[in-house]
Amino acid sequence: MLHARLSNPLAALCAILAGGVAALGFEPWNLVPLTVLGIAVLTALVDTAPSVRAAAKRGWLFGAGHFAAGLTWIATAFTFQAKMPAGLGWVAVIGLAMFLAIYVALAAALARGFAKGPLGRVLILAAAWMLAEWLRGWVLSGFAWNPLGAAWVDVPGVRQMAQYGGALALSGITVLLGGGLWLMARPGALRRERLVGVGVAAAVLVMGLAGTGLDRPQYDPDGPVVFLVQPNIGQDVKYSEGAGQRHLQVYLDLTRSALGAAAADRDAGALVLWSESSVPYAVEEDPEARALLASVLGPRDLLLFGGVAVIRDKGGEVTALTNSLFVIDASGRLLGRYDKAHLVPLGEYVPARPLMARLGLTRLTPGDVDFAAGPGPRTLALPGFPSVGVQICYEIIFPGAVVDPGDRPAWIANISNDAWFGASGPPQHLAQARLRAIEEGLPVARATPTGISAMIDAGGNVVVSHPAGTQGVVSSALPPALAPTVFARWGHGVTLGFGLLLVCVGVWVDRRRG
């Protein structure tokens, strides 16, 4: 392991490499032990740092390597906008990684500054990491992608701890586990420190065993059938001339075929879920478009699809759009609408538009009219079916902000366009949707144009899915919702309590050591 006299250049190199290695626990690699090992190296770097400033620098370098390795898919998004300068995607990846690394630097500085000994630093680093991830989720609109706890999404049992403390608590547990490795391996470690390291590892094992019962797939054979339509329409062809109608026809044909083939096997109506931006028309202003959509539905079927709503001023001029999910029945009536609330900077609106225009930066999506934000999570009533909460695209990555707490839905529809996200983005997006299912105790249905479309039960299990880069329709009975989880009832309150406990124990340990 690392020695206290590790030279500055070597410490910097170790920090960057450890950060990159820690990202290999995320999808699509799923090498969770490497995430724990990377955190162990970070803990060692913080513990052996000669000053708070040095610890912050090492934390920042770790974070830069970590986020750069985990967010490479962002570069792909910039390749679909001809107006963007060539190579800007990789500049964006590095720039974003350097910014997000500030949160890791903060956690490292707090651990080094407020604790005097190795054990105290491990405990406070875990608490500070949770604080840093919470801040990352809302500062400057927030970017909560890939919390450290997402590495556990394919580990049965352990992932179920998200029912209690959410993804942030899982992140704290990961830091404790990595810190425990450092305590066991640290040269000159006290016996009690090594025992704590063993104890943390044992606690994670116990949590895993205790949570395995919660991992049983949830299934309701009498639940309504949900069809997830995946047309495999890539972003490179989405905005070509005349593409809108052609692509809509693919959705219509796939839906008509799937509903027709299943007609003999179902007595009740079905729910059909299309992806974000699947319909190129302003359906509220276009009765012919509504009739076309309704034409593929049976008498009791409902279609949930992504489209835009138009906001006009008193003179009829378009002032904004909304990125929305609509619900339509077989008669062509619109039964509900949800407007995306958490918009993507440069993707759906341009902050400081005049300045950005002078720099040659525009939205990643075509058009000069910005999207307007909706009011936030809301539940839509679906006649004849369980009520639904809606999350559009990356709204699903924000823990504690995906359902209306005053009107809890029976399931969550997450429509997205992951065609932007390259190879690693879609499985990472799916992993975070699975965490939201566990946290809220609700099934999540995902529909994306190129994958990964999936039905997720309330325990985070993928019931059915359609592979990325393929065309087709998958269907599943809607899994049942569980009773509201601890996290659903208390949100980040449990994480706050966990963090405060770690800080208190860390301070107490330091005082005893002194």
What are the pLDDT digits (tens) for 394-447?
999 999 999 999 999 999 999 999 988 888 999 999 999 999 999 999 999 999
Q: Give the structural domain span for 175.
A: 8-216+491-513
Strand pairing report for 318-329 and 302-312:
antiparallel
- Inter-axis angle of helices 191-211 and 162-185, to 10 degrees? 150
422/419 Cα distance (integer angstroms) = 7
Give the pLDDT confidence of 165-214 residue by residue, as tens digits. 999 999 999 999 999 999 988 887 777 778 877 887 787 777 776 766 66
Same domain, 249 and 319: yes
Max Cα-Cα span within the chain: 77
> How much is the average pLDDT of 321-342?
97
Same domain, 177 and 207: yes
Same domain, 398 and 449: yes
> How much is the average pLDDT of 6-27?
92
Q: How many CB atoms lie within 10 A of CB 199?
A: 14
Same domain, 185 and 92: yes
**Is residue 290 a part of any domain in this protein?**
yes
**Is residue 486 a part of any domain in this protein?**
no
Confidence of residue 7 (pLDDT cuts 50, 70, 90): low
Confidence of residue 237 (pLDDT cuts 50, 70, 90): confident
Radius of gyration of the chain (CA): 24
Window from 331-335, 351-355, 384-388 with minimum mean pLDDT: 351-355
> How much is the average pLDDT of 17-24?
98
What does the pLDDT read at residue 314? 87
Give the pLDDT confidence of 268-291 residue by residue, as tens digits. 899 999 999 999 999 999 999 999
What does the pLDDT read at residue 358? 63
What does residue 304 show for φ and ψ, rounded to 5 degrees? -110, 125
**Is residue 3 a part of any domain in this protein?**
no
Window from 25-29, 236-240, 370-374, 453-457 with minimum mean pLDDT: 236-240
Asked if residue 1 has pLDDT above 50, the reply is no
Same domain, 212 and 265: no
**Is residue 192 a part of any domain in this protein?**
yes
Are the beta carbons of 77 and 93 closer than 8 angstroms?
no
Same domain, 131 and 203: yes
Window from 302-306, 367-371, 398-402, 464-468 with minimum mean pLDDT: 367-371
Count: domains in the chain: 2
Using alpha carbons, list the distances in angstroms from residue 137 to 82, 147, 381, 392: 30, 9, 29, 17
Confidence of residue 3 (pLDDT cuts 50, 70, 90): very low
**Is residue 167 a part of any domain in this protein?**
yes
Residue spans of beta strands (DSSP E) within 359-466: 379-382, 385-392, 411-415, 444-447, 453-456, 462-466
Strand pairing report for 225-230 and 472-477:
antiparallel
Query: What 3-state DSSP class applies to 489?
Result: helix
Q: Give the amino acid at 273.
A: L
> HEC states along 84-100?
CCCCHHHHHHHHHHHHH
Confidence of residue 2 (pLDDT cuts 50, 70, 90): very low
Same domain, 393 and 457: yes
Same domain, 241 and 376: yes
Same domain, 380 and 505: no
Asked if residue 255 has pLDDT above 90, the reply is yes
Asked if residue 13 has pLDDT above 80, the reply is yes
Q: Spell 5-21 as b/e; 16+ CB within 10 A means b.
A: ebeeeebbebbbbbbbb
**Is residue 154 a part of any domain in this protein?**
yes
Q: Is the dihedral of CA 386, 391, 396, 401 positive or negative?
A: negative
- The DSSP H or E segment spanning 429 is helix 425-440
Confidence of residue 84 (pLDDT cuts 50, 70, 90): low
Give the pLDDT confidence of 214-225 residue by residue, as tens digits. 677 778 888 899
Same domain, 461 and 333: yes
Q: Vertex 461, ends 456 and 466: CA angle to 5°?
A: 55
182/2 Cα distance (integer angstroms) = 9
**Is residue 2 a part of any domain in this protein?**
no
In order, the DSSP letters of 116-161 are: SSHHHHHHHHHHHHHHHHHHHTTGGG----S-GGGGGTTSTTGGGG
Confidence of residue 345 (pLDDT cuts 50, 70, 90): confident
> How much is the average pLDDT of 8-30?
95
Confidence of residue 472 (pLDDT cuts 50, 70, 90): very high
Confidence of residue 464 (pLDDT cuts 50, 70, 90): very high
Same domain, 204 and 294: no
What does the pLDDT read at residue 8? 84
Same domain, 365 and 495: no
**Is residue 257 a part of any domain in this protein?**
yes
Query: What is the CATH number for 308?
Result: 3.60.110.10
| Active-site residue list | 276, 340, 393
Give the pLDDT confidence of 384-394 residue by residue, as tens digits. 999 999 999 99
**What value does the mean pLDDT of the chain take?**
90
Total-model pTM: 0.92
